[in-house]
Structure 1
Amino acid sequence: MPLLHLCCWLLCIFLALAPGAGATPAKFHSEPGPVPALDNYFKESLNTRDGLPHNTINALAQTADGYLWFGTWEGVARYNGREFKIFDRSPETGLPDVGVRTFHVDWQQDLWIAGSRGGLVKVSNGVWHAYPPLGVLINRVLLDSQRRLWIATEGKGLYLQDEAGQRRVWHRADGLPSEQVHSLLEDATGRIWVGTSDGLVFLDPDLQIQQVASAELQRTPVFALLERQHELLVGTERGLFALSDPQAQPLSLLANVPVSSLLPQGPDILWIGTVDRGLFRQARGVTEQLDIRQGLPNNRVLALLLDKENSIWVGTNGGVFRLRDAPFSTFTTEQGLASNFVRTVLSHSDGCLYIGSSGGLNRYCDGELSRLDLSTVSVGQSVLSLAEGPDGSLWAGTYADGLVQLRDDKVVQHFHADNRLPANEVRAVLPLADGSVWVGTALGAVWLTAAGDKLYGREQGLPSPFIMGLYQSSDQRIFIGSGAGVAVLSATGELQRLDLSGFDDADYAFGFAEDKEAGLLWMSTDRGLLAYHLQTDQISMIGRAQGMPFDKLFQLVLDQQGHFWVSSNRGVLRLNRQQALEIVNGQRGWIDIELYGESDGMASAQANGGSAKAATLHHDGSVWIATSMGVSRVQPERLKQFARLTPPIVVEELIVDGESLPLGGTHRLAPGSNRIEFQYAGLGYVMSQRIQYRTLLEGFDSQWVNRGAAISAEYTNLPPGSYRFRVAAAYPGGDWSKNEAIIEFTLLPQLWQRGGFQLLLLGLLAGSLFLAIRWRLSSLRHSELRLRKLVAEQTSELQLLARQDALTGLANRRAFDEALQHEYQRSQRYQTTLCLALLDVDHFKRVNDQLSHAVGDEVLKRVAAVLQQQSRSIDLLARWGGEEFAMLLPDTSLQDAAEVCERLRQKIEKMDLSDLASDLRITISIGLTSNHKLDLSQLLLNADHALYQAKREGRNKLVLADLPQQTAS
């Protein structure tokens, strides 16, 4: 082996074993390289709450049609990007048991499924073919290049099944080290490798079992095999090894780590799943680890998959975990932000980006985050606003310490309530070219000049003294945004209030952005976007009536590709600038919207506003948005990369008059078939909720019909004839799929629609009229019955809405009781631990009595939000009633549940509620119990007793009911 090659592998081993090798890298790269750091991936999880039948994911596969398949102990789940379809033991599947252990997609693109009781099934073109079961758990299957099927079992050795279905078996007496076979591989030479619980062997051309020379690969379980670059990678209980020849000594690539699965990604990247250490990645001499500390649902990795869009899927004992590229990336405290609650961002002429948050001020330069220390002038260092002076200096407005000017990272000026400012809360700063500075505070706007200061408040004509935005337009006017509207100061010093009452009573003005080419100043308000014509002083509106999905918008940014990016509490909107101008000019009535949120890479869809600027365009063309969970970045140019992907399209169901029909072949529909529905799916997983569809029914439609994101097309009262249904899919801005999904069908005519029968009708007109009327009445009655059924279904859907608490958005008591019953039964069935916590907001009545019920409601909503953010994906939260909350922690030991609850208690205790009341502090008391030897009623009673014990002992405490002598506080 070349010396350089050896050195690279030794470096991998050193990094894997070194302390901290599993830590998440702290550096973001402004220019993403070909091998991004693990924390640059967008991470998401799916589990039983999302529709999986079981959280243990034993197998993963993607078939040629684009579907993703998940194998669990409760059946097979097929995923289309939006929902799962479950296949279990049934005549359709032929499975003898629901437990699925392994998948294998062979070179013919057929899917093999095997597992409990020796069940063996092949899925080919959507049809399930079952083979005689072996009566023992199957761990792996492999169809080799000679069409021979190899079957690895848990206790009955190695089977070989030929095309005729004849089987041969190898046992220990035949040289197999163990009856337990874990892994199979056919290498490039056609040699079959077999990993057992007692070492690695291979079969020679005569199908005789041969041992490898290395003692390292003997007498150890071999769980995973992979051939890469003329080497055999062997994952064992002792680590990962590379073997160049059966008689050679292996090279250790990852020592003392039990390896369960291997996945290559190109020539330079290897993903390594482990039995209990999470996920490793080796790339170009660097080894990184990702485990439950970085969001992996469980450290036991059972399966790995690289899909056709380069997403990494990880099957664990806690659900499936996904690493993928996303339009947005987010910086949080994990990467070095002072705080996750970001209020303002500024792109500076020095090429850096400055980020102000509730914890301080950060600078992002050359891919590195650093922190600027304001402790000498700001105790809390909570930054609300940022601006750049004409001299390049940095101005930072704070929440409680006034305004700071920095030059070369040093404070050169500090203005506060005792020094020229009316208040210390500064939400907007506007330095002017003449050296003067406008400062927007909670008690008015002040203009600081060398000749003196001038204060503008309600007495001087401002709609409100609470200032949130300041902007100097290209015609030198100063626009002042407040909590009650907008005022404009002319170059001559005249202050005029803009009348916004005719625009849905717009009140709050959060931000300004000028489109100089169009001569417009865009104002983000609590009723949508307002376009102020700088030449005519006219105002136009783009609000709900024009297609905006909600009212309150914070900051507009115009990117370099001709789109607006607008931040809001419910995500980031992307609008077409040309469409917006056409609406303003009266040439268009509706604007197309793209809404981005958590599924697109944002840690939180809740952007922040009320301070300037809440979003900005950086010099590299990226758009940065301040959010409640870090600062999010999107590179609009990169959206083309996602648009270039074309999702495969499939028709999933053909429904005729409520009855589902098989999809294969040409369908002959019975005369009178009235309602024909096609349900389809674009099998893309990068932006699955944003896939667009178009359909064409040849024989009926004259051109393609754009369906937007709708996933079904319905036709009624089609005339008899032959039809061809075509559907295509695309990501926004991308090409339509070339391989359309096509369904052909013929709608047979009624007897009276046939030519011969129509001739007969000429002689039997009277009778025919009677029959036609009678048929029509019958058809109407059937339609009425169908409509009644539809109304009943819709009524049922409305009843489902009653399961959510209207104030907090959490599950309500009814939904929680059902979930508790289900989880308790499941824990009893599988002998797992279920923990229940009851949480109560301490002294909540004082909040209602002293501060108002409105403040109390806001407190409950924020408590609920913190609980949601800090709890795990498998936990279920609900509002139990009043100020009480309940939380279910399935598959969780009492100790782990106590750690979760204690973290929640501490997070609630540290909540910043100063915007509601300056001295408001909220704590919670928690009673925690588990289902150990308890029935359901005792479980609730124990948790309730523990809660009251926590209150008796002084509140702000966690009490464990099952261990009454232990408390945490």
Structure 2
Amino acid sequence: MPLLSFRYTFLCWLLFSLPLTAFALSNTASPVPALDNYFKESLNTRDGLPHNTINALAQTADGYLWFGTWEGVARYNGREFRIFDRSPETGLPDVGVRTFHLDQHKTLWIAGSRGGLVRVKEGNWHAYPPLGVLINRLLLDKQERLWIATEGQGLFMQNSAGERVQYLGKEGLPSEQVHSLIEDSQGRIWVGTSDGLVYLDEQLQIQPVLPTQYNGVPVFALALNEQGQLLVGTERGLFLSPTLTAEPITLLDNVPVSALLFESDDILWIGTIDRGLLRQHDGITEELDIRQGLPNNRILALLLDSEQNLWVGTNGGVFRLRDAPFSTFTTDQGLAGNFVRTVLSHSDGCLYIGTSRGLNRYCAGVIDQIDLSSVSVGQSVLSLAEGPEQSLWVGTYADGLIEVSQGQVKRHFNANNGLPANEVRAVMPLSDGTVWVGTALGASRIDNQGIRNYGREDGLPSPFIMALYQSSDGRVFIGSGAGVAVLQQDKLQSLDLTGLDDADYAFGFAEDLAAGIFWMTTDRGLIAYDLTSGALHMIGRAQGMPFDKLFQLVLDKQGYFWISSNRGVLRLNRAQALEVIAGKRERIEFELFGESDGMASAQANGGSAKAATLHHDGSIWIATSIGVSRVQPERLQQFAKMLPPVVIEKLLVEGQEISFVNLQPLAAGTNRVEIQYAGLGYIMSERIQYRTLLEGFDQEWVNRGSYIAAEYTNLPPGTYRFRVAAAYPGGDWSQNEAELTLEILPYLWQRWWFQLLIVLVLATSLLWVIRWRLQSLKRNELRLLKLVSEQTVELQLLARQDALTGLANRRAFDEALQQEYQRAKRSNATLCLALIDVDHFKQVNDKLSHALGDEVLKRIAALLKQQSRAIDLVARWGGEEFVILLPDTSLAAAIEVCERLRQKLEQLDFSELSADLNMTVSIGLTTNDKLELPQMLLSADRALYQAKRTGRNRLIIADNKI
């Protein structure tokens, strides 16, 4: 029968059999979200599952999710999988897992291929002897008897002692292939086989079921509603059995049912063998199959976790429906196109959505399309605004500006009748009938006088207009591709944004009336403009923003900013933002939402107005590259109220994982301890926040953000208690903390008795040490005085010596010159002074390196010292200049000394430094004849200058005296 038929059958059954059904609806029942409002995602082998066929699903008391596959068990913490397969730890005889059972003690039973049967409790695996046949289902009844349904060997009952009783066809089973088990309120065990349904009575005798609908048909799924009535899912449909004798009611006809799950008493999820997932509620059967994102139409298992996420095991991986913060509407829900540019919340209660392929209206949960084909060829919508009397203004990409009233096109403006361009990225109707239009080639004002266009010549920083806004004081703000212009009293003036990190593009505006702040979203962050003082402030990367480009800001009713961007949607605390611009806070905190939070694409669209809006119901709508995304900020508070459980997953000591079950003390000298943990929440797993406290080390709780590990190094010996708590953003910390006690043993020398012994030994030795010390102090004092004297002489020598060449430095030479000049003056003796400069030395540094230049200077200095007389003083004058003082030397003798030095230097071999390197010097020589000391130095310098000017490599005597 087609789906329409069984929908009709189900509705009729509801009308006539409400008192009997598990689907009876209360008049006060809360609204049920449509399937389109759920966030859908799939996990498969690419995400870490060992196999894509998900045979079984379970959630244990600690919060972990467990997936049974043909390649083992996968345990999921919301971020990653841990795989358990055939090993000594698990005791499984084969990796194939067919079924889970979570009993009344919250113990997980696992069974599957080769009759493998294990029990998992608090991380400990206990294996039972295998049956040697595939196990399809398990059930631990109220009397602690374990029922085991097999594929081909009937039904087993195992008591608490481990003894097993087998039921086969001779005991009354219709078939020895058993698919389903359930215990009702009277303690009867219902058994679904490949050839019908039976039950076991109080004496554990198999009894047939009278209705013929179950005879000869495979029974794959069994469930009980709150009234204790039995739902039977078979290969031929879904049936309700009110009593043992009553004729069953057909809920679905000719639909092969494989799994059943009650979300509540009036919501039933139905897995099918080949038709995907069904949900029955309020007389309606909804379908979800591979066309809506289901990885495979064969459903094997269903699970509703503690946060009301629905997990669906299929042949193509696990599928999840969850109530994410964001929901997204795309062409699948009726949009004309997925590339959405603009959204508008209208006073008629509807939301208008402009896409690249047309205009949609969303009202009362229904999306319809507004036909603009009479005036718009492409129907690509860039901007939307509401005018007086609820008219709708539509800016298009190629067809200008359209006014729509009561579903009809009222006016149409384009380049043919006055607009500067047909590309309309912003439109702003005013209450007096004036309409401002932002185009790609300038801004326009439309009033009863006609159209006036504004361009660069009128003061616009750029003709590319993306945003328009009239503030509460009447000023018109125009956002362009090169800044912001403000129109006041019919004059345009640009805001100076040059000091704000080179902000250029202004994508959107929003006015904060309570704070008197005009917010501008730009390509460098968020700019605040004080409407009273005109002061500008930036909240950008330097203030903690994660990236530069921001499109549209919306202020919600809870005091948060929602800002769209190319990389997701940011949520900022408004109070923090005001503190930042007031200088009371350095950095701002943020949350970034994206595809894992329900958006089909984290790439929001900007460059036209408005790219995001606040709807009348408090929801925020954002234009994105794949549909329009909606977030209800109040729902985030509901998510925050959830308290995710937290578990400790790994203990790593010196980088090696060790078991923390019955943990032994850690060895002395343990240097690095890492503890990994996980919050087992699945709505916003990546956003779970953590805090840790290591008692005995930390003074207070340490906020870890979303980081899932705490590492400690160089912990002193002792006993520590590690505690970790988790919370959703904005929520309270979970009271159910995870804890781990650690003990680090001390070395021998760290034990108290050893330390006491050391203290005694030290005390005994102290008196001897003091006495010895007093005696040695005098010796040390004498030695110190001697050392100080020697070092003083050495320092004095170093202070008068050039560090590179070892010659006397300028200071030593100046002192010697003073002394020798005065002595020569007293004895009427001749004193000669020669200044020597290395020719072309700069080329050595530039071409061969400064290091080689230093080596050249050292060799020249050594030659000068070697060839000078004992009475002469050779010093480094500075750079590549040297000076020689020749006491009691006639001018003729001094000429001989200098010429010898010049020739020796000319012959000096530098080939080992550089093959073509030859060095010469220029020398200026003077005497003290009739010259004061300053004149003597000046005379030598002039002679040196003359030597260099007349060709270098020569000696010049001052005033040409010989």
TM band (smaller chain): 0.7 to 0.9
Report the counterpart of residue 734 of structure 1 in structure 2. 731
Matched, 1:587 2:551: no
How far apart are the structure 1 equivalents of 2:477 and 2:605? 21
How far apart are the structure 2 equivalents of 1:406 and 1:32? 39
- Aligned residues of 1:12 and 1:287 also touching (Cα < 8 A): no
Matched, 1:45 2:34: no
| Offset, 1:461 | 2.5
How far apart are the structure 2 equivalents of 1:235 and 1:559? 47
- Aligned residues of 1:199 and 1:219 also touching (Cα < 8 A): yes
How far apart are the structure 2 equivalents of 1:470 and 1:40? 33
Report the counterpart of residue 278 of structure 2 in structure 1. 280
Match of 2:665, SS?
Answer: strand
How far apart are the structure 1 equivalents of 2:250 and 2:321? 27
Match of 1:750 among 747, 761, 769: 747
| Offset, 1:371 | 2.2
Report the counterpart of residue 559 of structure 1 in structure 2. 556
Report the counterpart of residue 501 of structure 2 in structure 1. 504
Change (3 A) 1:351 1:251: closer
- Aligned residues of 2:157 and 2:164 also touching (Cα < 8 A): yes
Aligned length: 746
Match of 1:310 among 301, 308, 311: 308
| Offset, 1:667 | 4.3
Match of 1:643 among 632, 635, 640: 640
Change (3 A) 1:448 1:7: closer
- Aligned residues of 1:237 and 1:259 also touching (Cα < 8 A): yes
Match of 2:96 among 99, 105, 109: 99
Match of 2:552, SS?
Answer: strand
Match of 1:580, SS?
Answer: helix
Alpha-carbon deviations, 1:162-200, whole Å to 9, x = none? Answer: 111111111122222222111111111111111111111
Instruction: Could you tell me which runs of 5 or more consecutive residues in structure 2 were left unpaired when the two chains were aligned.
Output: 1-5, 16-27, 766-962
Superposition map of 1:215-254 within 5 A: 215-228=212-225, 229-254=227-252
Matched, 1:389 2:383: no
Alpha-carbon deviations, 1:481-509, whole Å to 9, x = none? Answer: 111222222x2233222232322222211
Match of 2:676 among 674, 679, 702: 679
Alpha-carbon deviations, 1:136-167, whole Å to 9, x = none? Answer: 11111111111111111111111111111111
Change (3 A) 1:735 1:667: farther
- Aligned residues of 2:7 and 2:283 also touching (Cα < 8 A): no
Match of 1:155, SS?
Answer: coil
Report the counterpart of residue 610 of structure 1 in structure 2. 607
Match of 1:326, SS?
Answer: coil
Superposition map of 1:720-731 within 5 A: 720-731=717-728
- Aligned residues of 1:89 and 1:98 also touching (Cα < 8 A): yes
Report the counterpart of residue 324 of structure 1 in structure 2. 322
Match of 1:270, SS?
Answer: strand
| Offset, 1:12 | 6.3
- Aligned residues of 1:12 and 1:254 also touching (Cα < 8 A): no
Report the counterpart of residue 630 of structure 1 in structure 2. 627
- Aligned residues of 1:666 and 1:743 also touching (Cα < 8 A): no
How far apart are the structure 2 equivalents of 1:90 and 1:467? 67
Q: TM-score, normalised by structure 2?
A: 0.76
Stretch deviating more after TM superposition (530-539 or 302-311): 530-539
Report the counterpart of residue 264 of structure 1 in structure 2. 262
Letter in 1 for 2:153: K
Change (3 A) 1:367 1:192: same
How far apart are the structure 2 equivalents of 1:129 and 1:303? 24
Change (3 A) 1:150 1:32: closer
Alpha-carbon deviations, 1:598-629, whole Å to 9, x = none? Answer: 22222221111100011111122111111111
Instruction: Could you tell me which runs of 5 or more consecutive residues in structure 1 were left unpaired when the two chains were aligned.
Output: 1-5, 16-30, 769-969
Change (3 A) 1:7 1:180: closer
| Offset, 1:535 | 1.7
Match of 1:142, SS?
Answer: strand
Bigger Rg, structure 1 or 2: 2
Change (3 A) 1:71 1:240: same
How far apart are the structure 2 equivalents of 1:121 and 1:679? 27
Match of 2:618 among 617, 621, 630: 621
Match of 2:291, SS?
Answer: helix
Matched, 1:206 2:203: yes
- Aligned residues of 1:394 and 1:406 also touching (Cα < 8 A): yes
- Aligned residues of 1:12 and 1:286 also touching (Cα < 8 A): no
How far apart are the structure 1 equivalents of 2:391 and 2:730? 40
Matched, 1:142 2:150: no
- Aligned residues of 1:12 and 1:253 also touching (Cα < 8 A): no
Superposition map of 1:848-887 within 5 A: none
Superposition map of 1:689-768 within 5 A: 689-762=686-759
- Aligned residues of 1:262 and 1:304 also touching (Cα < 8 A): yes
- Aligned residues of 2:10 and 2:252 also touching (Cα < 8 A): no
Change (3 A) 1:213 1:391: closer
Letter in 2 for 1:41: Y
Letter in 2 for 1:123: V
Report the counterpart of residue 920 of structure 1 in structure 2. none
Matched, 1:112 2:109: yes
Report the counterpart of residue 878 of structure 1 in structure 2. none
Change (3 A) 1:460 1:7: closer
Change (3 A) 1:472 1:659: same
Alpha-carbon deviations, 1:343-375, whole Å to 9, x = none? Answer: 111122222222111122222223332322211
Report the counterpart of residue 376 of structure 1 in structure 2. 374
| Offset, 1:523 | 0.8
Change (3 A) 1:153 1:463: same
Match of 1:689, SS?
Answer: helix
- Aligned residues of 1:12 and 1:282 also touching (Cα < 8 A): no
Change (3 A) 1:33 1:14: closer
Sequence identity (%): 73
| Offset, 1:407 | 2.0
Report the counterpart of residue 845 of structure 1 in structure 2. none
Report the counterpart of residue 875 of structure 1 in structure 2. none
Q: TM-score, normalised by structure 1?
A: 0.75
Match of 1:641, SS?
Answer: helix
Report the counterpart of residue 122 of structure 2 in structure 1. 125
How far apart are the structure 2 equivalents of 1:626 and 1:308? 32
Matched, 1:533 2:530: yes
How far apart are the structure 2 equivalents of 1:285 and 1:92? 49
Match of 1:136, SS?
Answer: coil
How far apart are the structure 1 equivalents of 2:583 and 2:382? 37
Alpha-carbon deviations, 1:779-815, whole Å to 9, x = none? Answer: xxxxxxxxxxxxxxxxxxxxxxxxxxxxxxxxxxxxx
Letter in 2 for 1:46: L
Matched, 1:663 2:657: no
Report the counterpart of residue 448 of structure 2 in structure 1. 450
- Aligned residues of 1:13 and 1:254 also touching (Cα < 8 A): no
Match of 2:177 among 155, 173, 180: 180
| Offset, 1:687 | 0.8
Change (3 A) 1:110 1:393: same
How far apart are the structure 1 equivalents of 2:752 and 2:32? 69
Letter in 2 for 1:55: N
Change (3 A) 1:255 1:579: same
